[in-house]
A and B are shown apart, each in its own frame.
Chain A
Amino acid sequence: MSLTDLLDVRAGENAHLVLRHATVLDPVAGIDAVHDVVVRDGEIAALASPGEADADGAEVVEAEGLHAFPAFFDPHVHLRTPGHEHKEDVETGTRAAAAGGYCGILAMANTQPPVSTAADVSSLREQARAGASVPVGFLATVSKAMAGAELTEMVELREAGAVGFSDDGLPITDAGLMRRALQYQHLCGGNIALHEEDPALSREGAMHEGPVSAALGIGGIPSVSESTMVARDAALAGYERARIHVQHLSAAESVEVVRAAKAAGVQISAEASPHHLCLTDEAVRGLDPHRAKMNPPLREERDRQALIEGLRDGTIECVATDHAPHQPEEKDVPFEQAAMGVTGLETAFAALHTELVLSGVIDLSLLVERMAGGAEPFDLDRPTLAPGSEANVVLCDLGAEWTVGEDGYESRSANSWCAGQTLTGRILMTVAAGQVAFRLRSFSLGVAA
C-alpha cells in the first residue's frame, strides 16, 4: 500500500518541481544516474535526461552536484502525544522528520495514556490530518495500558487505522501474552514491533554491562537481556507462523539470533538506530546523560561491528531512529537518574553518512536503501523514485558541513546524541507524498535568487 493509504498527513498542494541535473540514486529500483526529476500531481512524473525536462510552469531547482534519493522512512519515533506534548507533538515531530529527509514515520504508543483504544487512534489520526508535515502512522499497544497483562482490542484498533502494535518502551515479559498476540495477528494483521529486554536481567541497569560500567560503578544491562528475548520471540513467531519486527537491535548476540531465525524461515525483520551504529559504551565515560543515556544502551565495539554487518547482509533491513525527545530537566540530572533516549530524526542520515559512508565502512547506496527500509515490514510500499510512483524524494548536498544544533531544532527537544558535532551531508528539501514537506531556509533563498 502507498504511504497515504495507511498514514495521515495534513492536506496541501501537490508540488510541481523539476530537480535539474540531480544525481539520482535509488539502489532498489536500479537507478544511479544524472536526471531531471519531474514531480507533478503527487507522483514522480518522469526521470528525464539531464537538462531536457520541460519546466512547464514547475519550480525549477538547480540540482547539479546534489543527490536525489527516495525519501526515508522511520518505523520508530516517539511523538509523545498525548500526554507529553512539552517534549514533542505531532506537528513538531513530523517537522523534525521532514527536516531529516523522511517521507513517513510510525509513532510509538507509549504515551500518557498509552494508545490502547480505537478512540485513541482516531484522535491521533485526526491530529495528523490537521498538522502533520509528513505522513505518520500510529501503532497501538499490544497490551491494555501497556500493563503487560491483557491484549488490547486488536481487531478494532486495526479497523480504526492502527498500522501495527507495540509496547515499545517496555518488553512483553509474559510469553503467554506474546503468543496470544501473535495468534491474533492472523485475524487482524499488522506487524508487532518488539522492545526486547528481560527486566530480570536488566534490573537497575543504566548502561551496557562491561568494562566501562565496571569502571563507572553503574549497574549494567547485559547483552543477554536483549538476545534471550529476541530468541524467545523468534521461536514463538516461528511456532505461530506469525510476523514480528525487532526494534533497536543493540547486541551482537541479538543480530546472530535474527540472522539464524531468518535462515530458518521465521518472518522477522529488524532495525538498528544511528546511535548504536555510531557510538559505543565508551561514550558513557563522560557520564553525559544528554547524549549517552538510552535503552537499549550503547554497547561495545564488537556489537557495533555486528550491527554494521547486519545492515550489510540484510539481517537488519532498516535504520530507525528511536527518536525520543526529552526536556532539559529530565536530562540535567546524574546519569543514572536521567530519562532514557535521544533525538535522531534530524541527524540520522548526516550522522551515518559522516560516520559510516565517508569513512568507507559502508557504501552510500546501502545507506540509502536502509534509510527507507522501514516501510515494508509494516506493509507499506518502499519509497522509490521509479516514474509513476508516489513522490517521496529527498534532495541532499553530500558535501555540505553543518553543526548539529547550531540553528536549533525542528523538534521541541534538544537531546540530540550528536549535538555540537559537525556532520557532512545536509538535507536541502524533502518531498513527502507529493508535497514539499521541508526546505532548508538558506537553500530556498538560493532558489528564489
Chain B
Amino acid sequence: MKHLLSIEQLSRAEIESILDRAESFAEVGRRDIKKVPTLRGRTVVSLFYESSTRTSSSFDLAAKRLSADLVSVKAAGSSVEKGESLKDTVATLSAYDPAAIVIRHPYAGAAQMVAGWTTAAVVNAGDGKHEHPSQALLDVYTLRRRLGSLEGTRIWIVGDVLHSRVARSNLIAFARMGAEVTVCGPPTLIPRGIEALGCGVSYSLDGIEEAEVVYALRMQKERMSESFVPSLREYAANYQIDSRRLNPRQLLMHPGPVNRGVELSGEAIDSPQSLIAEQVAAGLVVRMAILYELLAGSEGQAPAGDGEGSKPTPIGTPA
C-alpha cells in the first residue's frame, strides 16, 4: 500500500492488517515511554485546509510517537492565504523530502491529486464530503475490540449522511467487514442513490431497535439556514438519539465533535454504552498503524521488540 486515499481502495484483509498493527501499538501506549524509533530521521508533513481537533492532533502525536520529524501546516496563517495553489504548496513542502503527507482538504479528490504530485506517501485525512478513511478504520477498530467481529452486526448510521465523509467511509468499511448497514436521516440529508453502496435506507428511526450499534453523525448548524431541515428542534425531535430511543444493549458511537442536545442527548453521550472516548483513544493507535503501514510496513522490516508470540510487533526499543 503506497497511499491511504480511501476505504474504497482497501480490501478486508488490508483493513484487518492495519487494525492488527494498531493493537500492537496499543500495548506501547501502556508503557511509561510511549515512543518507538521506527520513523526516526523521516519527515511527516501534516497539511490541514480545514479545522480539526481530533484528526490533526492524533496524526501529529502518532508521527511523534513513531519518532518522525513533524511539520504541521494549517491553511490559516500559511501561504495558502496568499493564494498559493494546492499543487504549488505540495511542491514546496515536497522539497523537504517528506516520507508522508497527511492532508485534509475541503474538496473531494484532493488527496488523490496530491498523490500524483509527490513521491511521498499520502494519507487522506478527509477530502470534502468524500472519504475519511482513518476515521472509518478507528471506528472499525473500536467496534472490533468490543464485539470481536463485525460479521452480521447491524449498524445504523443516523443523521446528515449527505454532507458526511464519515458516513461514506464508515458504511463502506462496516459493510466490507461483514456488517449490515442502514443509513437513516431526513430525506433531504440522504443522498439519492446511496443504496448503491450496499446499505439500507430509512427515513425514520422506526426499526433502530434491531441495531447492535447506533452511529450518530454531527448535524451542522448551517444546514438549517440552507433549509435542509426546517428547524434543529424538529430535527432533534425526530432523529435525536436519547436514552429513550437507545436500548441498553446497543452501542453508541459518534465521530465528534458532538452537538449536545441535537443529534445526541447529554445522557446518551455520557452513558456507559457510549464508545465516544474509546473512539478518540483508538484514533491515536490506528493512525500510528497507518503511518507504520505506509512507511515501514512495505519494507518488511520487523523492528526488534519485546513482542508477545505471533502478534505483529512493530515496536522498537523505547527511544
Contact = CB atoms under 8 A, between A and B. Distances in A.
Contacts of A336: 107-109, 128
A333 B107 CA distance: 9
Nearest to A288: B109
B84 to A, nearest CB: 12
B193 A214 contact: yes
B105 interface: yes
A296 to B, nearest CB: 17
A334 interface: yes
Given A213-B193, A287-B109, A332 B168 contact: no
A217 B108 contact: yes
Contacts of B196: 211, 214-215
A213 B163 CA distance: 12
Interface string A287-298: 101000000000
Nearest to B107: A334
A435 B108 CA distance: 48
Contact of B130 (A210, A216, A289, A337): A216
Interface in B8-30: 8
A332 B191 contact: no
Nearest to B114: A334
Given A334-B127, A334-B128, A214 B192 contact: yes
Contacts of A287: 108-109, 112-113
Contact of A210 (B108, B128, B129, B192): B192
B76 interface: no
B85 interface: yes
B184 to A, nearest CB: 15
A299 B55 CA distance: 35
Contacts of B107: 333-337
B108 A329 contact: no
A332 B87 contact: yes
A366 interface: no
Given A215-B168, A218-B129, A333 B86 contact: yes
Contact of B197 (A210, A214, A289): A214
Contacts of B195: 211
Contact of B194 (A214, A218, A334): A214
B165 interface: yes
Interface in A296-344: 329, 332-337
Interface string B104-138: 01011110110000000000000111110000000
Interface in B67-99: 85-87
A211 B128 contact: no
Nearest to A220: B192
Nearest to B49: A334
Contact of B105 (A210, A212, A334): A334
Contact of B128 (A209, A217, A332): A217
Contact of B113 (A214, A220, A334): A334
B21 to A, nearest CB: 27
A334 B109 contact: yes
B128 A214 contact: no
A213 B191 contact: yes
Given A332-B85, A332-B87, A334-B86, A216 B192 contact: no
Interface string A205-227: 00001111111111110100000
Interface in B157-206: 164-165, 168, 191-197
Contacts of B191: 213-214, 217, 220
A433 B130 CA distance: 51
B10 to A, nearest CB: 15
Interface residues on A, range: 20 to 34
Contacts of A209: 192-193
A218 B197 contact: no
A218 B112 CA distance: 15
Contacts of B127: 334
Contacts of A210: 192-193
Interface in A348-377: none
A333 B49 CA distance: 14
Contacts of B165: 217
B170 to A, nearest CB: 12
Interface string B130-150: 110000000000000000000
Contacts of B112: 287
A53 B4 CA distance: 67
A12 to B, nearest CB: 42
Q: Which of A213, A220, A289, A334 has the most CB of B within 10 A?
A: A334
Contacts of B8: 215
B68 to A, nearest CB: 26
Given A214-B191, A220-B191, A287-B112, A333 B197 contact: no
B193 A334 contact: no
A329 B194 CA distance: 32
B201 to A, nearest CB: 10
A218 B193 contact: no
B85 A335 contact: no
A204 B235 CA distance: 23
A215 B165 CA distance: 10
Given A333-B86, A334-B105, A334-B110, A217 B193 contact: no
Contacts of A289: 109
A218 B130 contact: yes
Contacts of A337: 107
A215 B194 CA distance: 7
A217 B130 CA distance: 4
A335 B108 contact: yes
Contacts of B193: 209-215
Contacts of A222: 192
Interface string A255-296: 000000000000000000000000000000001010000000
A123 to B, nearest CB: 32
A217 B168 contact: yes
Nearest to A336: B107
Interface centre among B107, B131, B192, B195 (most CB of A within 10 A): B107
A337 B131 CA distance: 17
Nearest to B167: A217
A356 B55 CA distance: 48
The 5 closest A-B pairs by CB, nearest first: A287-B109, A217-B129, A211-B193, A334-B107, A211-B196
22 contacts: A210-B193, A211-B197, A213-B191, A214-B196, A215-B8, A216-B109, A217-B129, A217-B164, A217-B191, A218-B108, A218-B128, A218-B129, A332-B85, A333-B113, A334-B109, A334-B110, A334-B113, A334-B128, A335-B107, A335-B109, A336-B128, A337-B107
Interface of B: 8, 85-87, 105, 107-110, 112-113, 127-131, 164-165, 168, 191-197
Given A218-B108, A287-B109, 19 more contacts: A209-B193, A211-B194, A213-B191, A213-B193, A214-B197, A215-B168, A215-B193, A215-B194, A215-B196, A217-B130, A287-B108, A329-B85, A332-B85, A334-B113, A334-B128, A336-B107, A336-B108, A336-B109, A337-B107
